[in-house]
Amino acid sequence: MILVDTNVIVALADRSDTDHERCLRWLEEQTDVLALPVTVLAEACYLIDRFGGPTAEARFLDSMGSEPHRRFRVLDLTDGDLRRMSELVRQYADRRIGGTDASLVAVAERLGVTTIATVNRRDFDNVRPRHLPAFTIVPT
């Protein structure tokens, strides 16, 4: 399983995004399960609507629909995830990772996920998860 950050979702939804082609090529090559915490879904909806409008947001939500067309699995947060997110936001206050990135770390720790898809490496290069020395970051 690979957890997907908001910036990858937004790049995929916006053809004018500088990372669109790179993220699209990466997505087309994937055989792993791609998942995102519900926090990423909410943040992506907000940003896609803000920059692309309601039609783009609806297309994104369609892509989150039922099998066999679903590309991403949405993951709920647990109470433990929320506690860990709070710890992470405090621990990395100087880096301002925020709740959404903290949710990716917390869910990755809970599920043993080692790979995060993001185009903003600095957010995750500096985070030290509990279950491994560092995340593998894709796409490269």
Annotated binding site for Mg(2+): 5, 101
Please report how the helices 98-111 and 79-91 are oriented relative to each other, as an axis angle in degrees rounded to 10.
Answer: 120
- 114 burial via Cβ count (<10 Å: 0-12, 13-18, 19+): middle
What is the DSSP secondary structure assignment for residue 123, as one 8-state letter? H
Answer yes or no: are the C-beta atoms of 74 and 35 closer than 8 Å: yes
> What is the C-alpha radius of gyration for the chain, rounded to an integer number of angstroms?
14
Tell me which DSSP letter residue 100 carries.
H
The dihedrals phi and psi of 138, each to the nearest 5 degrees, come to -130, 160
Binding-site positions read 5, 101
